Amino acid sequence: MDKAVIVEGLSKSYLISHEAQHRPTSMREAIAEFAPLAWKRLRKKNGKVESVSPKVEEFWALQDVTFEVDQGSRLGIIGANGAGKSTLLKILSRVTEPSAGRVRISGRVSSLLEVGTGFHPELTGRENIFLNGAILGMRRAEIRQKFQEIVDFAEIERFLDTPVKRYSSGMYVRLAFAVAAHLDPDVLILDEVLAVGDIRFQQKCFGKIREMGEVQGRTVILVTHSMAAARTLCQEAIFIESGRIVAQGRVDKVVEVYEGSLAPVSSFGRIDLRNWKNRNSRAVGALYEWAEISTDDASSADSRIYVGSNVHIRFGVRFDVSRVGQPTKLAVALRTSDGIPLANMVDEDSGFFIMSARTEEACEVVLRDLRLYPGIYFASLWVGSVASETWDCVNDCICFEVLSGGDLVRRRLPREAGLLFLTPEWARA
Amino acid sequence: MSEPPLLVIEPGRAQKDYWRDLWRHRELLYFLVWRDVLVRYKQTTIGVAWAVLRPLVTMVIFTLVFGKLARLPSGHAPYAIMVFAGLLPWQLFSAAFADMGGSIVGNSGLISKVYFPRLVVPTSVLIVALVDFLFASLILIGLMLWYGYIPDWRVATLPLFILLGVGAVIGPGLWVASLMVKYRDFRYVLPFIVQVGMYISPVGFSSSVIPERYRLLYSINPMVGVIDGFRWALLRGDVGLNASGIALSAILSGVLLILGLRFFRRSERTFVDLI
Put simply, the answer to whether B4 touches A108 (Cβ < 8 Å) is yes
The residue with greater pLDDT, B84 or A45, is B84
Q: Does B14 touch chain A (CB under 8 A)?
A: yes
The whole-angstrom distance between residue A399's C-alpha and the CA centroid of its chain comes to 14
pLDDT above 90 covers what percent of chain A? 25
The reported pLDDT for the residue numbered A25 is 63
Q: Residue range A347-360: average pLDDT? A: 85
- pLDDT band for B168, please (50, 70, 90 cuts): very high
Lowest mean pLDDT among A63-72, A251-260, B246-255: A251-260
Q: What is the mean pLDDT of residues B22-50?
A: 82
Average pLDDT over residues B41-66: 77
Least confident of A21-25, A383-387, B224-228: A21-25
Mark which residues 398-427 of A lie under 8 Å from B by CB. Answer: none
Question: CB distance from B273 to chain A under 8 Å?
Answer: yes
**Contact assignment for A106 to B185 by CB distance below 8 Å:** no
- The mean predicted confidence, pLDDT, of chain A is 82
| Average pLDDT estimate for B210-233 | 86
Across the range A323-344, mean pLDDT stands at 86
Mean pLDDT of B183-192: 85
Three-state secondary structure of chain A: CCEEEEEEEEEEEEEEECCHHHCCCCHHHHHHHHHHHHHHHHHCCCCCCCCCCCCEEEEEEEEEEEEEEECCCEEEEECCCCCCHHHHHHHHCCCCCCCEEEEEEECCEEEECCCCCCCCCCCEHHHHHHHHHHHCCCCHHHHHHHHHHHHHHHCCHHHCCCEHHHCCHHHHHHHHHHHHHCCCCCEEEEECCCCCCCHHHHHHHHHHHHHHHHCCCCEEEEECCCHHHHHHHCCEEEEEECCEEEEEEEHHHHHHHHHHHCCCCCCCCCEECCCCCCEEECCCCEEEEEEEEEECCCCCCCCCEECCCCEEEEEEEEECHHHCCCEEEEEEEEEECCCCEEEEEEHHHHCCCCECCCCEEEEEEEECCCCECCEEEEEEEEEEECCCCEEEEEEEEEEEEEECCCCCCCCCCCHHHCCECCCCCCCCC
Query: With an 8 Å Cβ cutoff, is B23 touching chain A?
Result: no
pLDDT reading at B148 higher than 90: no
**Residue A15: predicted pLDDT:** 77
Q: Tell me if B135 sits within 8 A of B160, measured CB to CB.
A: no
**Residue A43 pLDDT:** 59
pLDDT at A37: 64
Q: What is the per-residue pLDDT for B214?
A: 83
Q: Has residue A365 got a pLDDT over 90? A: yes
- Give tens-digit pLDDT for A142-190: 899 999 999 998 888 889 999 888 988 778 888 888 888 888 888 888 8
What's the pLDDT at A51? 47
* Banded model confidence at residue B47, pLDDT cuts 50, 70, 90: low
pLDDT of residue A54: 54
Is the Cβ of A26 closer than 8 Å to some Cβ of chain B? yes
- Max mean pLDDT range (B40-54, B72-86, B186-200): B186-200
**B37 CA to chain A: closest CA distance, Å?**
11
Most A CBs within 10 A among B35, B105, B124, hence the mutation to make, goes to B35
Q: Which residue of A has its CA nearest to B268?
A: A96
Question: How far apart are the CA of A172 and the nearest CA of chain B, in angstroms?
Answer: 17
Using the predicted structure, report yes or no on whether residue A69 has a pLDDT greater than 70: yes
pLDDT for residue A294 is more than 90: no
A window 62-121, beta carbon within 8 A of B:
90-109, 111, 113-114, 117-118, 120
Which chain B positions have a beta carbon within 8 Å of A127's beta carbon? Answer: 35, 38
> Band of the pLDDT at A414, cuts 50, 70, 90?
confident
pLDDT digits (tens, 9 = 90+) for B245-272: 889 889 999 999 999 999 998 888 888 8
Whether residue B212 lies within 8 A of chain A, CB to CB, comes out as: no
Helix axes B186-200, B158-182, angle to 10 degrees: 150
Q: What is the pLDDT of residues A272-292, one digit of tens each?
A: 888 777 788 876 788 999 998
Q: What is the pLDDT of residue A6?
A: 92
pLDDT, average across residues A120-143: 89
Distance from CA of B1 to the nearest CA of A (A): 12
Mean pLDDT across A74-90? 87
Which of A95, A102, A108 would you mutate first to test chain B, the one with the most B CBs within 10 A? A95
What ipTM was predicted for this assembly?
Answer: 0.82
Given an 8 Å threshold on Cβ–Cβ distance, is B272 in contact with A90? yes
pLDDT (0 to 100) of residue B50 = 72
Are B11 and A111 within 8 A, CB to CB?
Answer: no
How confident is the model at residue A50, as a pLDDT? 46
Of the candidates A25, A95, A102, the beta carbon closest to that of B115 is on: A95
Predicted pLDDT at B167: 92
Range A227-246 average pLDDT = 87
Cα angle at A119 between A114 and A121, to 5 degrees? 135
pTM of the predicted model as reported, rounded to 2 decimal places: 0.70
* Structural domains of chain A sorted by starting position, each given as residue range(s) with its CATH number in brackets: 3-58 (no CATH), 69-261 (3.40.50.300), 272-417 (2.70.50.60)
Q: Which of B256, B245, B263, B95 is nearest to B170 (CA)?
A: B256
Please report the residues numbered 134 through 153 in chain A whose beta carbons come closer than 8 angstroms to any beta carbon of chain B: 134-137, 139-140
Residues A138, A38 contacting (CB under 8 angstroms) = no
Please report, for chain B, the start and end positions of each structural domain, with discontinuous segments joined by +. 16-274
pLDDT given at position A47: 44
- B86-122: b or e for each residue (b if 16 or more CB lie within 10 Å)? bbbbbbbbbbbbbbbbbbbbbbeebbbbbbbbbbbbb
Residue B121 has pLDDT above 90, yes or no: yes
Element (H, E) at B9: strand B6-9
Q: Give B10→chain A minimum CA distance, Å.
A: 5
Mean pLDDT of A83-104: 89
Q: Look at A7-11, A78-82, A399-403, B229-233 and tell me which has the smallest mean pLDDT.
A: A78-82
Measure in Å the smallest separation between the Cα of A110 and chain B Cα atoms. Answer: 9
> What is the predicted pLDDT for the residue at A300?
46
User: Are A106 and B6 in contact (CB < 8 Å)?
Assistant: yes
pLDDT value of residue B163 = 93
pLDDT (mean) for A69-80: 89
A60 contacts in chain B (CB < 8 Å): none
Whether residues A99 and B42 touch (CB distance < 8 A) is answered with no
Task: Please compute the mean of the pLDDT values over residues B8-33 and round it to a whole number.
Answer: 83
A111 neighbourhood in chain B, CB within 8 Å: 114-115
What pLDDT, on a 0 to 100 scale, did the predictor assign at position B219?
83
Residue A179's Cβ-count burial label (10 Å; 0-12, 13-18, 19+) is buried
pLDDT band at A378 (very low <50, low <70, confident <90, very high): confident
Q: Do A27 and B189 touch (CB under 8 A)?
A: yes
Query: In chain B, whose CA is at the least distance from the CA of A106?
Result: B6
Tell me the CB-side half-sphere exposure of residue B127, using CA atoms within 13 A.
15
Q: What is the mean pLDDT of residues B218-243?
A: 84
Q: Which residues of A touch B14 (CB under 8 A)?
A: 94, 97
Over residues A17-51, the pLDDT tens digits come to 655 444 556 666 666 666 666 666 555 555 444 44
